[in-house]
């Protein structure tokens, strides 16, 4: 399977960044408010958040505490009011909209709770779409999309439309679509929220395998403690702030090697 490995070996960029502290994301004191007609919501309050390259981090916390806002801000989908976000040493706030969009297309993949697959397209057409948008030639895009579907064990279902697939299969298509562009980081907002627990577990196993095999960085918002426990670290949020974190030594399968309150 050529996906990932070849690019990583040849990537001068990743070798260069590996020698520099190796932070994928370093966000400092980010603030975000939403102003509507009759409401002023402080969604993120002075949030510091850093993620090492190759880490798999869960973000957990009650509904409305700012998890989605955090993902949207860190990935540059949304603007912050103040603070600083470095993504692989690129200061997000200095980029134009166009540059941010390009950066996202090259370096990021997204998985959401609702599948966001286009119903009129087959699985392989959905997966190849981000490549076609990025200007990859159709023949190559098709080959890469099929390779990504093979990786998530959906080769046999490549020509099926979303409506002909189960929930778990659909979510695996979105995983394939997120990784087909060979991103450095995948943002997943409640990726297993719509799945039964067994299927959720399978999708998590797939993401974990990609993380461990290819060093792909994951940030996963989840309500599922079982998913959180399989990540390297759980970051807890409450009321727009990070209130604590737990690190797991996943290789030893032991919990809570370090526990500390971050504020
Ligand atoms: P979570 O993902 O943890 O459930 P969100 O990040 O979606 O939380 O929301 C955090 C807070 O910001 C909530 O109080 C929510 O109502 C508010 N909020 C989120 N998006 C918007 C928006 N587009 N306009 C106004 N308020 C918003
Ligand atoms: Mg949310």
Express each pLDDT in 16-36 by its tens digit.
334 445 899 999 999 999 998
Tell me: the pLDDT tens digits for 212-255? Answer: 988 999 999 999 999 999 999 999 999 999 999 999 865 444 34
The helix/strand/coil state of 111 is strand
Span from the CA of 72 to the centroid of ligand 2 (angstroms): 10
Tell me: the pLDDT tens digits for 19-78? Answer: 445 899 999 999 999 998 888 999 999 999 999 999 999 999 999 999 999 999 999 999
For the CA of 240, the nearest atom of ligand 1: 10
For the CA of 65, the nearest atom of ligand 1: 3
Phi-psi region of 185 (alpha: psi -120 to 50; beta: other; left: phi over 0): beta
Q: Are 44 and 24 in contact (CB under 8 A)?
A: no
**How many whole angstroms separate alpha carbon 234 and alpha carbon 219?**
10
Q: Are 103 and 109 in contact (CB under 8 A)?
A: no
Helix (H), strand (E) at residue 241: strand 241-249
Residue minimizing CA distance to atom 23 of ligand 1 = 34
Residue of 38, 40, 41, 237 best suited for mutating to test ligand 1, as the one with most atoms within 8 Å of CB: 41
Helix (H), strand (E) at residue 31: strand 23-36
Q: Compute the CA torsion angle 197, 53, 99, 187 (nearest 10 deg).
A: 10
């Amino acid at each position: 399977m050529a996906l990932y490995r070849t690019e990583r070996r040849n990537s001068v960029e990743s070798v260069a960044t590996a020698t520099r502290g190796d932070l994928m994301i370093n966000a400092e004191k980010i603030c975000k408010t939403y102003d509507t007609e009759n409401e002023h919501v402080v969604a993120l309050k002075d949030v510091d958040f850093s993620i090492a390259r190759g880490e798999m981090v869960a973000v957990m916390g009650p509904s409305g505490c700012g998890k989605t806002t955090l993902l949207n801000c860190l990935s540059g989908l949304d603007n912050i009011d103040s603070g600083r976000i470095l993504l692989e040493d690129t200061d997000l706030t200095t980029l134009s909209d166009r540059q941010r969009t390009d950066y996202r297309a090259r370096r990021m993949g997204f998985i959401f709770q609702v599948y966001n697959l286009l119903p009129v397209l087959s699985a392989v057409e959905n997966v190849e779409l981000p490549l076609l948008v990025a200007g990859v030639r159709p023949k190559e895009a098709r080959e890469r999309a099929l390779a990504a579907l093979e990786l998530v064990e959906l080769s046999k279902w490549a020509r099926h439309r979303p409506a002909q697939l189960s929930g778990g299969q659909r979510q695996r298509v979105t995983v394939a679509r997120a990784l087909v562009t060979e991103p450095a980081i995948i943002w997943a907002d409640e990726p297993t929220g719509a799945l039964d627990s067994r299927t959720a577990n399978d999708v998590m196993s797939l993401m974990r395998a990609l993380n461990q095999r290819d060093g792909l960085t994951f940030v996963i918002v989840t309500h599922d403690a079982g998913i959180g426990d399989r990540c390297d670290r759980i970051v807890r949020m409450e009321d727009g702030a990070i209130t604590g974190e737990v690190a797991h030594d996943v290789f030893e399968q032991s919990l809570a090697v370090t526990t500390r309150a971050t504020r």
